[in-house]
Amino acid sequence: MKKLFAAFALALFSLGLCAQDMEWFDDAKLGIFIHWGIYAVDGVSESWSFHNEKVPYDKYMAQAKGFTASKYNPEKWAELIASSGAKYTVLTSKHHDGVALWNTAVGELSIPALTPAGRDVLTPFVEAVRGKGLKLGLYYSLLDWSRDDYPNFTVNNTRYKIDEDPARWQRFVDFNFAQIRELSEAYNPDLYWFDGDWEQTAQAWNSPGIISLIRSYNPAVVVNSRIQGYGDYATPEIGVPIARPDARYWELCYTINDSWGFQHKDTNFKTPYMVLRTFIDCLSNGGNLLLDIGPREDGTIPSEEVKVLKELGRWTSKHAEAVYGTRAGVSPECFKGGYTTLSKDGTVLYLYVPGKPSGPIEVKGIVNAVKKARVVGKGTELKHEVYNKLSWQETPGLIEIYLPGSCLDPAFTVVALELDGPVKTFLK
Ligand code: H79
**pLDDT string in tens for the chain (428-residue length):** 444 444 444 444 444 799 999 999 999 999 999 999 999 999 999 999 999 999 999 999 999 999 999 999 999 999 999 999 999 999 999 999 999 999 999 999 999 999 999 999 999 999 999 999 999 999 999 999 999 999 999 999 999 999 999 999 999 999 999 999 999 999 999 999 999 999 999 999 999 999 999 999 999 999 999 999 999 999 999 999 999 999 999 999 999 999 999 999 999 999 999 999 999 999 999 999 999 999 999 999 999 999 999 999 999 999 999 999 999 999 999 999 999 999 999 999 999 999 999 999 999 999 999 999 999 999 999 999 999 999 999 999 999 999 999 999 999 999 999 999 999 999 99
Could you tell me how far CA 305 lies from the centroid of its own chain?
16
Question: Cα of 196 to ligand 1 centre, how many Å?
Answer: 7
Closest by CA position to 413, among listed 337, 336, 347: 337
Ligand 1 atom closest to residue 35's alpha carbon, by position in its atom list: 1
Question: Cα of 94 to ligand 1 centre, how many Å?
Answer: 15
pLDDT of residue 16: 78
Spatial contact of 144 and 37, defined as CB atoms under 8 Å apart? no
Q: Which residue's C-alpha comes closest to atom 18 of ligand 1?
A: 198
- Ligand 1 mutation target, pool 237, 251, 291, most atoms within 8 A of CB: 237
- Ligand 1 mutation target, pool 48, 138, 228, most atoms within 8 A of CB: 48
Ligand 1 atom closest to residue 47's alpha carbon, by position in its atom list: 4
Ligand 1 atom closest to residue 253's alpha carbon, by position in its atom list: 8
Give pLDDT tens digits for 395-424.
999 999 999 999 999 999 999 999 999 999
Ligand 1 atom closest to residue 141's alpha carbon, by position in its atom list: 1
Helix (H, G, I), strand (E, B) or coil at 341: strand
Question: Cα of 307 to ligand 1 centre, how many Å?
Answer: 28
pLDDT of residue 187: 98
Between CA 240 and CA 7 the distance in angstroms is 37
Helix (H, G, I), strand (E, B) or coil at 271: coil
Between CA 87 and CA 43 the distance in angstroms is 28
pLDDT of residue 13: 46
> Which residues, at least 6 apart from 18, have a Cβ–Cβ distance to it below 8 Å?
none
Q: Locate the DSSP E strands across 297-419.
A: 327-328, 339-342, 348-354, 361-363, 370-375, 384-387, 398-401, 412-419
Question: Cα of 268 to ligand 1 centre, how many Å?
Answer: 20
The CB density around residue 238, as the number of other CB atoms within 10 Å, is 11
Question: Cα of 49 to ligand 1 centre, how many Å?
Answer: 12
For 260, list phi and psi in degrees, rounded to 5: -80, -50
Q: Which residue's C-alpha comes closest to atom 22 of ligand 1?
A: 198
Q: How far apart are the first and last CA of the chain?
A: 53
pLDDT of residue 410: 98
pLDDT of residue 15: 47
Ligand 1 atom closest to residue 48's alpha carbon, by position in its atom list: 4
The pocket around ligand 1, CB under 6 angstroms, is made up of: 46, 48, 195, 198, 237, 253, 260
Q: Give, in order, the Cα–Cα distances in Å from 249 to each of 14, 158, 210, 275.
A: 15, 36, 21, 21
pLDDT of residue 7: 46
pTM over 0.85: yes
**186: amino acid identity, one letter:** A
Give pLDDT tens digits for 40-68.
999 999 999 999 999 999 999 999 999 99
Cα pseudo-dihedral 77, 82, 86, 90, rounded to 10: 30
Q: Which residue's C-alpha comes closest to atom 5 of ligand 1?
A: 195
Give alpha helix (H) positions in 74-201. Answer: 74-83, 111-114, 122-131, 166-187
Helix (H, G, I), strand (E, B) or coil at 285: coil
The CB density around residue 242, as the number of other CB atoms within 10 Å, is 8
Ligand 1 atom closest to residue 46's alpha carbon, by position in its atom list: 4
